[in-house]
Amino acid sequence: MILGVIADDFTGATDVASMLVRAGMHTVQVLGVPHDGLPQADAVVVALKTRTVAPADAVAQSLTALAALRAAGARQTYFKYCSTFDSTPQGNIGPVTAALMAALGTDFTIACPAFPENGRTVFRGHLFVGDALLSDSGMRNHPLTPMTDANLVRVLQAQTSHTVGLLRHDTLDGGGPATQARMARLRADGVAIAVADALSNEHLLTLAEACAELPLITAGSGVALGLPPAYARRGWFMPKANAADLDTLQGPGAVVSGSCSEATNAQVAQWLAAGRSALQIDPLALHQGGQSADTVLAQATQALAQGPVLVYATAAPESVRAVQQALGVQAAGELVENALARIAQGLVQAGVRRLVVAGGETSGAVVQALGVQQLRIGAPICPGVPWTQATLAGSSEAVQLALKSGNFGGVDFFAQALQQAGVAL
């Protein structure tokens, strides 16, 4: 293993894994730290759920992941966080970075959430989301991690006692050696974490080249794009043309959707407008016993004979609010997640081998119901959402999963994903 990645959430883990695969690294994502050791691959991504937990808990979990990655031989460690630098005034980016630095015995690293292809750029230490400063973007109203300051040097400095500095874009314009020279000067001046600018993919590639031999990199998924070529130049590995290849599976395809985002509502509407087969979950009927996961599953299984089926709880905001008022936010979410997870499990038992899941929490519930512990990462369907392949718990059977968080994907995402996996529509 060359690279060990510790990701602070599940879909973020898939995002960075997808970047590595795209650049030719055979990559496996594990869900939490497995008890029986890590799989072998060029890169292993450990998906944690530490973005908003207490800093001490995030540190402890990240150190456990680091120990497993080091035991498996990782040459370099990558702490992956969100491209909008999602964190609270207490952390967890600062505390986790400091703990990983201490454990790795290093006194210098970078911090760079930039991902220009997705509109996230860092200029003179300030993070932009499209044309807006982070603090003017929708992120200022995030329920858990509101980001009200775009100056990442200041944001990160508030989370750590290490000195935070700045590695500017005009230094990156000078190429890898100039960037390394600047990093050496920053380090000599006592800077422990340098927030790095990046306005283009070119900057990310230069940054990755300059940082390929640091024990630790902290970043969004963007920097990962440049690491495989930097490793290849050092002769550490050969990019593989088949890194994204998954097996060719037979068996029907299906879609399970529990996301109520704008994008997912449009995707469900598109599927229905195309006249494809679909079954709707009604949370209130589910609660009152007028509908059950097993009856919907039976109908869905029957429908598979005619082609892929969509089972959805996806609904417009007014309807979701009404359900939440009647049942409570938490209870409504769990009721629907449990039903969809049960249905996904039943569909896979009925032979489905290509399954699209819409919704971050919904994906978590489905993966748990299937007993999946690791995912081999395949080709992207859209930026950030690759096909993945898992082995079903208690068997050697494979299943392919496309796990889409809320707002990703165009209106035709479901059909596009299934077609890409070879499912006839």
Site of interaction with ligand ADP (CB under 6 A): 258-261, 264, 283, 313-315, 320, 323-324, 332-333, 336-337, 359-362, 405-406
Shortest Å distance, C-beta 327 to ligand ADP: 8
| All residues at 6 or more sequence positions from 6 whose CB lies less than 8 Å from its CB, including other chains | 46, 48, 62, 65, 66, 69, 77, 78, 79, 80, 96, 100
Taking the least distance from each CB to ligand ADP, the nearer of 202 and 361 is 361
**Closest among 176, 183, 341 to 256, alpha carbons compared:** 341
Nearer CB in complex with ligand ADP: 166/256? 256
Q: 7 or 23: whose CB is closer to ligand ADP?
A: 7
The answer to whether 195 touches 112, Cβ cutoff 8 Å, is yes
Shortest Cβ contact with ligand ADP: which residue?
Answer: 359
Contacts with 386 (C-beta within 8 Å, 6 or more apart), sequence order: 14, 17, 18, 21, 244, 377, 378, 379, 380, 402
- Tell me how far the alpha carbon of residue 340 is from its chain's centroid: 21
User: Can you tell me the distance from the alpha carbon of 39 to that of 338, in angstroms, rounded to the nearest whole number?
Assistant: 29
Which positions ≥6 away from 237 have C-beta within 8 Å?
Answer: 2, 25, 42, 228, 231
Q: How far apart are CA 59 and CA 82, in angstroms?
A: 17
d(CA 401, CA 405): 13
Task: Give start and end residues of each alpha helix (H) in 89-246.
Answer: 93-104, 152-157, 169-172, 176-188, 201-211, 227-233
Report the C-alpha gap between 68 and 63 in whole angstroms.
Answer: 9
- Of 60, 100, 57, 64, nearest to 80 by C-alpha is 100
